[in-house]
């Protein structure tokens, strides 16, 4: 039986609550009854929840129940670069620990690399019960083919029920391929993860439409349940030196390690001292800065705070600062502890990229600027007065 959605004309009162609730604009009113445009409908069910009269019936065909009992444990794919385990891995271990405890299963770290055996202890200290480690020169740096093959092989052999992965350039490239190969469900950029204790389902909550709505997603009938999480969304697992994990070293034949693409060179560009998406503090500027000199001014503040410099698209398009600094829809998404927006009006495209920052400070001379609607602290005034004063004041207070 295929999935379907239908509106009961008897029950529909024409209240149009469902029209407002539909995130895809697929419902309209005709003759005081709701009508669903099936070309736009994605069967998400938002209207079903919104309807107060139980007039919408959604039948989701989940197919014949599969036996999923063979799958257990929570896995975390741990990313390493040049043999250094990336902090995203510790954040995922922190979150994975909670999920594993709720399910009463083991937390397993998976790590691939070359000459990394000594790194296993770092993963056990961060809460892993079991570590799957594959060590081979071909795995020194990330390459799509061998990494995919190995994760596929491991998952098929050991059958985890959950795999978590960082929403990094590596993670997103790798895990999307793995999900297809092992026919698993994958949810990107989760901001919240939880367990439905009855069904043992992973509840994956993620923003959609630039964070304007949130969706909770499950994978009812496929295993493993896979999710990616952005950097800095979850808390790092605390270090417990006393913890010991079971280390399982796996070996794979050459054909598994083969790569069709060839990594010729890794180029590091140190254009600034702090990577924007890694930064705990970002001082960002918009068109209000008026030019390159304005960015020098906020650069001073960023330097004092040990933070990075961000920019709006307007400032980037005006060539005041390179694109690598752009925050927002067509730039980077960031969630630092502190985001100081200087002369930023707060266009929706910019807000999308920074509104999950923990504390937002907005400085703008226009009291009506939309940025103040999301700011924790707002200062209405001239950035050219306030920013230098702040720089001086922070420099003074940090010296103490």
Partner 1 sequence: MDYLLTEQQVMMRDLARKIADEKIKPVAAHYDETEEFAWPIMKIIADSDLFGVYIPEQYGGLGGGVMDMCLITEEFSRACGGIALGYAGTGLGTFPILLYGSDEQKQRFLPDIAKGKRLAAFCITEAGAGSDAGSIKTTAVKDGDQYILNGTKQWITNAGEAEVYTVIAITDKTKGSRGASAFIVEKGAKGMEFGKKEKKMGIRASATREVIFTDCRVPAANLISKEGMGFIVAMKTLDNSRPGVAAQAVGIAQGALDHAVEYARTRVQFGAPISSFQAIQHMLADMGTQVEAARALAYATARMVDSGAKSISKESAMSKLFASDVAMKVANDAVQIFGGYGYMRDYPVEKYLRDAKITQIYEGTNQIQRNVIAGHMIKESLKKQP
Partner 2 sequence: MNIIVCIKQVPNTTDVRIDPATNTLIRDGVESVINPFDTYAIEEAARLKERCGGKVTAITMGPPQAESALKEAISLGCDEGILVSDRKFAGSDTWATSYTLAAAIRKITDFDVILCGKQASDGDTAQVGPGISAHLNIPQVTYVKRIVEISAGAAKVERMTEEGYDIVETPLPCLFTVVKEINTPRMPSFKGMMRAKSAKILKWTADDIEADPAALGLDGSPTRVVKIFTPEARKGGETLSGATDDVSKELVELLKDLVI
What residues make contact with partner 1 under the rule CB under 8 A? 290, 314, 317-318, 368
Encoding tokens for residue 207? 């923003």
Among 94, 127, 160, 185, binds partner 2 (CB under 8 A): 185
Q: Any contact of residue 260 with partner 2 (CB under 8 A)?
A: yes
93 binds, among partner 2, partner 1, none (CB under 5 to 8 A by kind): none
> CA torsion angle for 153, 157, 161, 166 (degrees, to 10)?
-30
- Hey, CA dihedral for 5, 202, 169, 338, is it positive or negative? positive
Give the residue with the Cβ less far from partner 1, 232 or 287. Answer: 287
Cβ closer to partner 1: 19 or 318?
A: 318
Q: Nearer Cβ to partner 2, position 132 or 142?
A: 142
Smallest gap, in angstroms, from Cβ of residue 317 to partner 1?
5
CB of 379 to partner 1, least distance (A): 19
Q: Report how far residue 306's alpha carbon sits from residue 299's, in angstroms, rounded to the nearest whole number.
A: 10
Residues 281-310, interacting with partner 2 (CB under 8 A)? 281, 305
Q: Is 219 helix (H, G, I), strand (E, B) or coil?
A: coil
Residues in region 363-392 near partner 2 by CB under 8 A: 372-381, 385-386, 389-390, 392
Cα–Cα dist 127/93, whole Å: 7
- Of positions 241, 264, 368, 399, contacts partner 2 by CB under 8 A: 264
Determine contact, residues 227/204, Cβ cutoff 8 Å: yes
In terms of CB distance, is 215 or 248 closer to partner 2? 215
Shortest reach from residue 392's CB to partner 2, in Å: 8
Window 199 to 258, contacts with partner 2 (CB under 8 A): 203-204, 207-222
Closest approach of Cβ 126 to partner 2, in Å? Answer: 21
Spatial separation of the C-alpha atoms in residues 18 and 27, rounded to whole Å: 7
Cβ pair 303, 390 in contact under 8 A:
no
The reply to whether omega before 104 is within 30° of 0 (cis) is no
175: nearest Cα among 264, 77, 91? 77
């Amino acid at each position: 039986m295929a999935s379907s959605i239908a509106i009961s004309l008897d029950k529909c009162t024409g209240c149009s609550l469902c029209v407002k609730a539909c995130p895809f604009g697929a419902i309209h009113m005709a003759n005081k009854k709701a009508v669903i445009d099936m070309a736009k409908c994605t069967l998400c069910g938002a209207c079903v929840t919104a309807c107060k009269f139980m007039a919408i019936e959604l039948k989701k065909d989940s197919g014949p129940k599969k036996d999923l009992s063979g799958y257990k444990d929570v896995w975390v794919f741990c990313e390493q670069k040049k043999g250094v385990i990336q902090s995203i891995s510790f954040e995922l271990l922190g979150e994975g620990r909670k999920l594993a405890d709720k399910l009463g299963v083991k937390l397993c770290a998976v790590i691939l690399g070359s000459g990394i055996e000594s790194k296993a202890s770092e993963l056990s200290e961060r809460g892993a019960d079991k570590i799957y480690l594959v060590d081979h020169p071909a795995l020194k740096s990330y390459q799509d083919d061998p990494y995919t093959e190995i994760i596929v092989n491991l998952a098929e052999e050991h059958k985890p029920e959950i795999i978590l992965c960082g929403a990094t350039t590596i993670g997103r490239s790798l895990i999307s391929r793995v999900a297809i190969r092992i026919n698993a469900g994958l949810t990107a950029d989760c901001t919240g993860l939880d367990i439905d204790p009855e069904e043992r389902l992973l509840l994956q909550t993620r923003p959609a439409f630039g964070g304007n709505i949130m969706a909770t997603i499950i994978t009812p009938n496929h295993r493993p349940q896979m999710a990616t999480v952005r950097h800095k969304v979850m808390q790092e697992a605390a270090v417990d030196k006393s913890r010991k994990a079971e280390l399982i070293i796996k070996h794979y034949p050459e054909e598994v390690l083969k790569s069709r693409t060839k990594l010729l060179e890794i180029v590091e560009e140190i254009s600034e001292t702090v990577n924007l998406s890694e930064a705990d503090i970002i001082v960002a500027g918009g068109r209000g800065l008026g030019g390159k000199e304005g960015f020098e001014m906020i650069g001073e503040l960023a330097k004092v705070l040990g933070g990075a410099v961000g920019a709006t698209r307007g400032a980037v398009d005006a060539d005041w600062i390179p694109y690598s600094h752009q925050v927002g829809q067509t730039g980077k998404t960031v969630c630092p502890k502190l985001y100081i927006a200087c002369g930023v009006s707060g266009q929706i495209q910019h807000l999308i990229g920074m509104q999950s920052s923990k504390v937002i400070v907005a400085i703008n001379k226009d009291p009506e600027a939309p940025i103040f609607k999301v700011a924790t602290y707002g200062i209405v005034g001239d950035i050219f007065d306030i920013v230098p004063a702040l720089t001086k004041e922070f420099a003074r207070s940090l010296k103490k």
